[in-house]
Amino acid sequence: MDYIHNSIFTRWITGIIQNRKAVTGVGIIFVFIFLAVFGPFITQDPTAFLSRPLSPPSWEHWLGTNGQGQDVLAQTISGARQTLLVGFTTGIMVVLIGALIGGISGYYGGRIDDILSLLINVFLVMPGLPLMVILASWLPPGPGTLTGVLVLTGWAWNARVIRSQMMTFRNRDFVSAAIVSGERNIRIIIIEIMPRMLSLLASSFIGASIYAIGAQVGLEFLGLGDVSTITWGTNLYWASNDMALLTGSWWTFVPTGLSIAIVSFALTLINFGIDEVTNPRLISERVWRENIPRDKAVNGITPVVKDHE
């Protein structure tokens, strides 16, 4: 039998669909994912020497060529592949590890919590950026290394947040009710509590992905990635190596930089959308502001709008 109608999830999904911010964000991300997957089949070969190096945008090369004479449009589109893949994989893994360790720590409490909290705290106090740089330069370069390094330095904060959320749920009556009815702990965590945390998990995933894309590009820009692959980070690395700033060839780095900014912007929009949908007070306050004269919308004093119906 189908019991999913009008569940909290269907309400959220319809909410997201109706939310302008979330829809814009999702749309932009889909465009980028589409380009990342299918783009390289359409564009010119991003690795081939095609034209005079550093030639400005033209009909032949819409975004010009870089210092190696490669097509910048093709490079930007190909770069999206690995950058987004590493970004979203890191996001998923950070949330999974955070939910596992933070969830267990918060649910069981006691000695288990003491040990796991210690682990979380150790990773929290470790300086992330230097650790990332050292690990990335020491391990063999590649997307696997990047993901590993980003997850290792990024999971702890998430685990901390999920742990505290789990601790508040742990003492709710619906959890006690499940315990009294004989339900197993692991089932309570996964079936009863995790769905209640979905909005937190979703926004954690998005936050972690933004972080992963930014950090990844940063590492690669420093030359700590695999410079033979094409990613947004290596694009910027080569642009900097080829003195793009000194020669004023803006077209070699602006497209990549703009792509990174737009993806982060879109992800942030989705996060705002999730926030509004799962926290109805934000929506009702917005609707309230739209519906009353601006001079009456004062904090702390209820407006009187007599002709409002």
Partner 1 sequence: MNNSVLSIQNLCVNYITPGNPVKAVNDVSFEIQQGEIFGLVGESGSGKSTVVQAVLRTLPPPAVITGGKVIINNKDILSISNADVLQYRWKQISIVMQSALNALNPVLTIREQIKDVLEIHSDLTGKAIDNRIHELLSLIDIDVSRLDSYPHQLSGGMRQRVVIAIALALMPPLIIMDEPTTALDVIVEREILAKIIELRKELGFTILFITHDINLLLEFADRLAIMRNGKLIELGQTQKIRAGGEHSYTQKLIGALPSASGPRKKGLLSKPKNPDFGSKPLLEIKNLSKNFPVSGFFRPKLIEAVKEVSFQVFPGEIVALVGESGSGKSTIAKLITRLIRPTSGDIFLNGTNKKVSEARRVPLEYRKQVQMVFQDPFGSLNAVHTVYHHLVRPLLRHQLIPKDELFNYIIEMLENVGLSPGAMFAEKFPHEMSGGERQRVALARALSLEPDLIVADEPTSMLDVSIRMEILEVLAQMRIKKNLSIIFITHDLASARYLADRIIVLQHGSIVEQGLAEDLIQSPEKTYTKQLVKAASPGWFESLSFNHKKKD
Give the residues lining the site for partner 1 (CB under 8 A): 1, 3, 5-9, 172-174, 176-184, 192, 195-196, 283-285, 287-289, 291-292, 297-298, 300-306, 308-309
CB of 184 to partner 1, least distance (A): 8
Which residues contact residue 265 at a Cβ distance below 8 angstroms, ignoring those fewer than 6 apart? Answer: 25, 28
Asked if residues 244 and 67 have their Cβ atoms less than 8 Å apart, the reply is yes
Separation CA 143–CA 149 (nearest Å): 10
Separation CA 121–CA 157 (nearest Å): 9
Task: Report the residue number, 140 or 293, with the smaller CB distance to partner 1.
Answer: 293
Task: Report the residue number, 31 or 177, with the smaller CB distance to partner 1.
Answer: 177
Task: Report the residue number, 101 or 178, with the smaller CB distance to partner 1.
Answer: 178
Task: Report the residue number, 42 or 307, with the smaller CB distance to partner 1.
Answer: 307
CB of 92 to partner 1, least distance (A): 22
Q: Around Cβ 309, how many Cβ atoms within 10 Å?
A: 4
Task: Report the residue number, 181 or 228, with the smaller CB distance to partner 1.
Answer: 181
CB of 161 to partner 1, least distance (A): 20
CB of 186 to partner 1, least distance (A): 13
CB of 192 to partner 1, least distance (A): 6
CB of 112 to partner 1, least distance (A): 11
Task: Report the residue number, 171 or 228, with the smaller CB distance to partner 1.
Answer: 171
The C-alpha angle with vertex 44 and arms to 43 and 49, in degrees rounded to 5, equals 155
Is 103 in a helix, a strand, or coil?
helix
Element (H, E) at 229: none
Where do we find the tokens 């290394």? 145
Which residues contact residue 214 at a Cβ distance below 8 angstroms, ignoring those fewer than 6 apart? Answer: 260, 264
Separation CA 239–CA 258 (nearest Å): 14
Task: Report the residue number, 246 or 298, with the smaller CB distance to partner 1.
Answer: 298
Q: Could you write out the DSSP letters of every residue in 17-53?
A: HH-HHHHHHHHHHHHHHHHHHHHHHHS--TTS--SST
Asked if residues 217 and 261 have their Cβ atoms less than 8 Å apart, the reply is no
Residue 206, token pair as written in the block:
């998005």
CB of 273 to partner 1, least distance (A): 15
